[in-house]
Structure 1
Amino acid sequence: MTTFTRHALSTGVTLNVATAGPEDGPAIVFLHGFPESHRTWRRLVPLLEDRYRLIMPDQRGFAASGAPQDKADYATDKIVGDLFALVDRLGLDAFTLVGHDWGGAVSWAAALRGDPRLKRLAIVNAPHPVLFQKSLIEDSDQRAASQYITAFRAPGFEHYPETIGWEAFFDKSFSGHVDLASIPADDKAQYIAEWSQPGVFNAMLNWYRGAAVMVPPPGVTVPLPDFLLRAFPKIAVPTLVVWGMKDKALLPLQLDGLDTLVEDLRIVRIEDAGHFVPWEKPEPVAAALRSFLELPTGA
């Protein structure tokens, strides 16, 4: 059974946190991305709650959590701060971190902190920051696929869904990724209810507005930023990357070169799934997580 608790964190935001599974089970913190909530993991919960303590916050700006309106409040270091403030509040001595989409971006950054409580990292369709920025400059297909980020950053875009209607925006958000008929009506209603709360959609967009990633327009030659030219620290914790290979937003080329940035890497490709693989194909995702989590340390 999933329960909910609100946690006022030392970072100044209050997060709505869903939990499931035994309290004494190995802890897994799940971080969702755009445009979702803790519900990203809804179809994984029945497959994992028998053994694991599942901790699934709505991240800042989403659903039932606090939604600061300043884009500066969505810098990566502040969102990573939320994660570790939640870990502190829950008293976790050890945990696995699983992130999808923006939750994956936060998870990559969290792993780079080297916090000894973070024992394993699992990433689901979320590119490593170095590879993503590099691909936005060097790969025309990824650059084209990411132009929506520029649209999301545009002043006033927070009013766009109201202009076309929330149902139309829902269809535009998911139709390119999944069969809309596969999304139950009550799920659709919940998405729209969350997005249409006062200030929430603007806060969701602030994840893009507050991020440092550079998205050049098509056809423009841009030099590589300095941080891509320097040595970048490797991820030291054992890492699993699960990728829905039909992802049209984050192309599978994001897997190329990961082995040079992660010391202990496993990749599981799910050929018949796209970007929203956690609920599109939950069984192979859960199987990959179980296999990874049950490996002995150092295996």
Structure 2
Amino acid sequence: MTSLINDRVSLPTGVDLDVAIAGRRDAPAVILLHGFPESHRTWRHVIPDLARDHFVIAPDQRGYARSSKPQGVEEYAAAKIVADVIALADHYGVDRFTLVGHDWGGAIAWGAAIGRPDRVAKLVIVNAPHPYVFQRSLIEDRDQRRASQYIRTFRDTSIDQGLTGAGLERFFGSTFAKVLTSTVAGDDKAAYLDEWSQPGAMTAMLNWYRASNFVVPEPDEQAERPAWLDAPFPPVTQPTLVIWGMGDKALLPVQLELEPHVPNLTIERIEDAGHFVPWEKPEPVIAAMRRWGV
């Protein structure tokens, strides 16, 4: 059985993160980034396999669980969170690493791969849209636009006051449950409610949406196309594996139209899985990663 060590790390970026680590420190490093509304537990079924031959680093990212929750939407800008990832690698003495990200963690992983190819050796994305492809689809694809209206809701700061106590139970049973393809109960449900109930956690998590610059038009709006969609966009130069649960109700298959942004691309589709595929269907996720060379 792989031993999981829970660490608390103070970073020069100004935040303290809870970090789960496993495996030998002299093994090739892999950093696992979770998304909304989770924690390092996203990877609970994946870590033991990877730790057999990797040094695994899985943080609770800023704003989540018991990690630091700096105040202000600007503290959740992608550049600051990418800086956390690089600082975390530095803390553990890791130079080059494989970066794996799901959901918002995948958004940060895309950004880190594009901005820091000197550090990110390989990239694995799990149900997380490429920034250019996502913004283009929000303008051009009406189905994706309709599926993304929750972002407009999450950016409304008036919802935060209702996300405490019984409001967290309602969030679990409605907003969260809508995107699940399996039942969450018992210890897993208790872990979510515990993490979400930490002071400031829900606002901090939602601030990731508020800090992003994605334009999400209303369903029938005649949306103006952001100028940067018609400018050159830097490619991802690393070997990249994209794993996609095809039953994802929030991120539709249009997100897999990744050429020419990712020249060295492998896509693994998991047909009977939804958005939270790392823990709903961990076996095919692990198999896809291993076939590809993680």
TM-score calculated relative to the size of structure 2: 0.96
The alpha carbon displacement at 1:45 in A equals 1.7
Q: Does 1:54 align with 2:67?
A: no
Residue in structure 2 matched with residue 195 of structure 1 by the alignment: 196
Residue in structure 2 matched with residue 158 of structure 1 by the alignment: 160
1:170-185 equivalence runs, <5 A: 170-181=172-183, 183-185=184-186
Structure 1 gap segments, 5+ residues each? 295-299
- Structure 1 runs of 4+ off > 6 angstroms? none
Q: What letter corresponds to residue 24 of structure 2 in structure 1?
A: P
The alpha carbon displacement at 1:48 in A equals 2.1
Q: What letter corresponds to residue 214 of structure 2 in structure 1?
A: V
For the 8 Å contact 1:171–1:180, the answer to whether it is kept is no
In the alignment, the residues of structure 2 paired with residue 287 and residue 36 of structure 1 have an alpha-carbon distance, to the nearest angstrom, of: 23
- Provide the secondary structure at the position in 2 that maps to 1:240: strand
The alpha carbon displacement at 1:293 in A equals 2.3
The alpha carbon displacement at 1:198 in A equals 1.1
The alpha carbon displacement at 1:58 in A equals 0.4
- Provide the secondary structure at the position in 2 that maps to 1:176: helix
For the 8 Å contact 1:69–1:202, the answer to whether it is kept is no
- Provide the secondary structure at the position in 1 that maps to 2:115: coil
Q: Does 1:26 align with 2:28?
A: yes
In the alignment, the residues of structure 1 paired with residue 139 and residue 64 of structure 2 have an alpha-carbon distance, to the nearest angstrom, of: 29
Size of the alignment, in residue pairs?
Answer: 292
Fraction of identical pairs, as percent: 54
- Provide the secondary structure at the position in 2 that maps to 1:40: helix
1:1-299 equivalence runs, <5 A: 1-162=3-164, 165-181=167-183, 183-256=184-257, 258-293=258-293
Structure 2 gap segments, 5+ residues each? none
- In structure 2, relative to structure 1, the CA distance for the partners of 1:229 and 1:120 (3 Å cut) is same
The alpha carbon displacement at 1:164 in A equals 5.1
**1:176-203 superposed Cα distances (whole Å, 9 cap, x missing partner):** 222453x241010010011011111110
- In structure 2, relative to structure 1, the CA distance for the partners of 1:180 and 1:280 (3 Å cut) is closer
For the 8 Å contact 1:60–1:79, the answer to whether it is kept is yes
Q: What letter corresponds to residue 213 of structure 2 in structure 1?
A: A
- In structure 2, relative to structure 1, the CA distance for the partners of 1:101 and 1:165 (3 Å cut) is same
In the alignment, the residues of structure 1 paired with residue 109 and residue 264 of structure 2 have an alpha-carbon distance, to the nearest angstrom, of: 16
Q: What letter corresponds to residue 282 of structure 2 in structure 1?
A: P
The alpha carbon displacement at 1:163 in A equals 7.3
In the alignment, the residues of structure 2 paired with residue 236 and residue 167 of structure 1 have an alpha-carbon distance, to the nearest angstrom, of: 43
Residue in structure 2 matched with residue 297 of structure 1 by the alignment: none
Q: What letter corresponds to residue 85 of structure 2 in structure 1?
A: L
Segment of structure 1 superposing worse, 130-139 or 109-118: 109-118
Aligned-pair RMSD on alpha carbons?
1.3
Q: What letter corresponds to residue 141 of structure 1 in structure 2?
A: D
